[in-house]
Amino acid sequence: MQITIHKTLFELITGDIADQETDAVVTAAHWKLNKGSGTDGVIHTRGGPQIYEECRRIGGCPIGDAVITTGGNLKAKHVIHAVGPVWRGGDEHEPELLASAYRRSLEVATEHKLKSISFPSISTGAFVYPIKLAAPIALKTICDYLQKEQHTLEFVRLVLYTREDDKAFLVYEKALQELLANQN
């Protein structure tokens, strides 16, 4: 599914984040920036030790923030490590922290003058954020940023990993349709 948001092409697909050929791929990282499981584990394994070495030098990243490293052996030149919240029921600022992780990733991409970025569904794997709650937050944050902020992004992709949740694409597609309907 593709749409244009302001001047940026936005795409929703199923696939593997580590295979994307955008300027940067985002990984859902742990605040210590150590090799996690799920998306982060795949990024570190396929990207090689250069990514972890840069993460080790950076030392950590607050929840809701993002940092950038090399892409190592990945097709993408950069990895943006976004630290989303662990789901604890919704009463510990999880929605705000999740939105911040997406927004900060977009800001980091803009600071580095990147033209394209691919996101996974942050926090919905190992951090167990319910995908039906995460999808509208992710999409609204991305759309708001692309419409309202100065940026260099020409292409933004959201890559949904069907092995994690086989209904992920349908959940995101429905949330995007509802967001677009509410904007009109």
Q: Tell me the pLDDT tens digit for each residue of 49-58.
A: 999 999 999 9
Number of domains in the chain: 1
* 3-27 average pLDDT score: 95
- Provide the CA 101 distance to its chain's centre, in angstroms: 8
Question: Rounded to whole angstroms, how far apart are CA atoms 129 and 121?
Answer: 10
> For residue 138, how many other CB atoms are within 10 A of its CB?
26
* 92 assigned to some structural domain: yes
Active-site residue flag, 19: no
* 173 assigned to some structural domain: no
Residues of the chain with pLDDT > 90: what percent? Answer: 84
Q: Is the pLDDT of residue 184 over 70?
A: no
**Quick one: pLDDT at residue 171?**
93
The answer to whether 39 and 28 are in contact (CB under 8 A) is yes
Q: Is the pLDDT of residue 162 over 80?
A: no
Residue tagged active-site, from 40, 65, 91, 144: 40
| Higher-scoring residue by pLDDT: 111, 37 | 111
**Quick one: pLDDT at residue 115?**
98
* 182 assigned to some structural domain: no
What is the CATH number for 60? 3.40.220.10
* 178 assigned to some structural domain: no
Instruction: Give the H or E element holding residue 183.
Output: helix 168-183
Calculate the alpha carbon distances from 146 to 99, 125, 151, 155 in Å: 14, 25, 7, 10
- The rounded mean pLDDT for the chain is 93
* 176 assigned to some structural domain: no
**Quick one: pLDDT at residue 125?**
87
Calculate the alpha carbon distances from 119 to 14, 88, 109 in Å: 11, 23, 12
The answer to whether 38 and 126 are in contact (CB under 8 A) is yes
The answer to whether 125 and 164 are in contact (CB under 8 A) is yes
**Quick one: pLDDT at residue 118?**
98
**Quick one: pLDDT at residue 39?**
84
* 30 assigned to some structural domain: yes
* 29-40 average pLDDT score: 87
Domain that holds residue 120: 2-166
User: pLDDT, tens digit, for every residue of 71-91?
Assistant: 999 999 999 999 999 999 999
* 127-153 average pLDDT score: 96
* 115 assigned to some structural domain: yes
Question: Rounded to whole angstroms, how far apart are CA atoms 179 and 151?
Answer: 21
For the whole model, what pTM was predicted?
0.95
Question: Rounded to whole angstroms, how far apart are CA atoms 150 and 44?
Answer: 31
